[in-house]
Structure 1
Amino acid sequence: MTYCIGISLDAGLVLTSDSRTNAGIDHVSQYSKMHRCATTPDRCLVIMSAGNLATTQGVIQQIRRDVQEGAPRNINTLNYLADVAEYLGDVLVNRIRKHTEQTGFVPDATLMLGGQIRGRNPNLYMIYPQGNYITSSEDTPYLQIGESKYGKPVLDRFLTLETSLEDAAVCSLISMDSTMKSNASVGPPIEMLLYPRDQFNAPIHYKLDAENPYLLAIRHEWANQLNHAFRAMPRLQDHAQPDNSLHSI
């Protein structure tokens, strides 16, 4: 399983991913799911992936090959992020179709594209196995791929377009920790990339292993604050009257 979060803010982007792959309880490995693309100086593009590992690795290899061979359509020749997302969707669909025709197995994968092209705003796109895509919005300034349900509440409660990159980074780590707490197939190292708007060559990348002091501090303090909040909740017997109208049968 996988969990990746992309957050799009007025100040830039925060991208976070785990590194655990699971093909059964006897085969747990670590692979980076965050790929910073080699681009021209007028852009910064990062791809995160979830799903079949062979498919995502094949897509990344094809993207690199198209750049190296000077294909007319590649991540450096397209002038809009939406066009890059459409191109990635086509590469993804072709890769899935090829494997399906050869083996009869459908190796689905989902991609998330985050970045900026000079003269445009930073943005996020989630690209589905069918090749279509969606983007983040003012009301929901984040996207998730993989095991999304456990880490979603904290994102909904605290993120807005005005959130700072630092606060969004903390929020994404809490979201990741909540997911790891509930699903053992999501795990460290945790990768995080902070991209300040218009700073094409200056994204800030972190890689936090399981024993990283900051990651442990986030986990401990969040659990501690949740426990305090729970203990401070109004007690039922102090604020509600019992209803004894339930009849026995």
Structure 2
Amino acid sequence: MTYCVGMRLNAGLVFMSDTRTNAGVDNFSTTRKLFNWAVNGERSITIMTAGNLATTQAMISLLEERSVATEDRDPSILRQDTMFQVARLVGETLKEVIAYSNPNGPTANDQFSASAIVGGQIKGGKPTIFLVYPQGNFIEISEDTPFFQVGETKYGKPILVRAYDADMPFDEAVKLLLVSFDSTVKSNLSCGLPFDLLIHENDHFNGDRTIRIEENDPIYQAISTGWGDALRAAFQALPTYKV
């Protein structure tokens, strides 16, 4: 399984994904699910994937292949004029890969299904994020929906809903995401560390901040332990319901 979150703040965009792709009894494997294309001074585009691994890897490979030697490749993710066009290209590519894998058409329980979070900024446009569905269609982030999740979303969503604030700085947003991811990892074996993190600051096209957070990261460990202790303390402080 997977857990990925793309979040919009007033200061910019934050993306985080886990890396676990297999969680058998004695067989754990990881792979990158967060990918970035950037042109200094001009654009930064990030994609996070969830779903069938062969499908998502084929989609990323196609996008990367078509972005090499851009004068000879079309359509290229590096030649789209807006983030809307980027999302449409990703949707078309995902749909193409799924159709190739399943020529009889998608089904409700399609084993080749996948989805993606696509976000970033192109100079002259606003930073934004899209959620791309297996059918190739997509929706854009909004004030009412300031973050998108894909994969195993239910365990990490409550803390995001309760604590998200568009005005929070990047370090607070990362702390919030780490609590969300920690809750997911502790609830579902199919999600796991390390986590990949990318921060895009509004109108900044000279390199995004990228970090891989390992299991032994001291800040992550302090957040994980502190959140557990805080929950137990908060529970004890609540009034008892007499029955």
TM-score, L = length of structure 1: 0.90
Point out where structure 2 has 5 or more consecutive residues left out of the alignment.
Answer: none
Measured on the aligned residues, the alpha-carbon RMSD in Å equals: 1.9
- Retained in 1: the 8 A contact 2:23–2:190? no
- Retained in 2: the 8 A contact 1:111–1:127? yes
User: Match of 2:152?
Assistant: 147
For 2:51 and 2:240, the matched residues in 1 are separated by 44
Equivalence map 1:91-102=2 (5 Å) = 91-101=93-103
For 2:40 and 2:58, the matched residues in 1 are separated by 22
Matched, 1:186 2:191: yes
Q: How much has 1:75 moved relative to structure 2?
A: 1.2
User: Match of 1:245?
Assistant: none
User: Match of 1:174?
Assistant: 179
Q: How much has 1:229 moved relative to structure 2?
A: 0.7
Matched, 1:57 2:62: no
User: Match of 1:47?
Assistant: 47
Q: How much has 1:24 moved relative to structure 2?
A: 4.3
For 1:222 and 1:203, the matched residues in 2 are separated by 28
Q: How much has 1:160 moved relative to structure 2?
A: 2.7
SS at match of 1:236: coil
Question: 4+ residue runs of structure 1 moved beyond 3 angstroms?
Answer: 23-27, 38-41
- Retained in 2: the 8 A contact 1:39–1:45? no
Q: How much has 1:163 moved relative to structure 2?
A: 2.1
Q: Does the C-alpha gap of structure 1 residues 27 and 64 become closer, same or farther in structure 2, counting only changes over 3 Å? A: same
Match of 2:85 among 83, 92, 97: 83
- Retained in 2: the 8 A contact 1:5–1:17? yes
Q: What per-residue deviation string (whole Å, max 9, x for no partner) do you get for residues 68-91 of structure 1?
A: 253332212211111100000001
Q: How much has 1:40 moved relative to structure 2?
A: 5.9
Q: Does the C-alpha gap of structure 1 residues 83 and 60 become closer, same or farther in structure 2, counting only changes over 3 Å? A: same
Match of 2:73 among 67, 71, 74: 71
Point out where structure 1 has 5 or more consecutive residues left out of the alignment.
Answer: 243-249
- Retained in 2: the 8 A contact 1:96–1:106? no
TM-score, L = length of structure 2: 0.92
Q: Does the C-alpha gap of structure 1 residues 129 and 185 become closer, same or farther in structure 2, counting only changes over 3 Å? A: same
Bigger Cα Rg: 1
Matched, 1:157 2:162: yes
Matched, 1:229 2:229: no
User: Match of 1:109?
Assistant: 114
> One-letter code of the match for 1:21?
T
Q: How much has 1:134 moved relative to structure 2?
A: 1.1
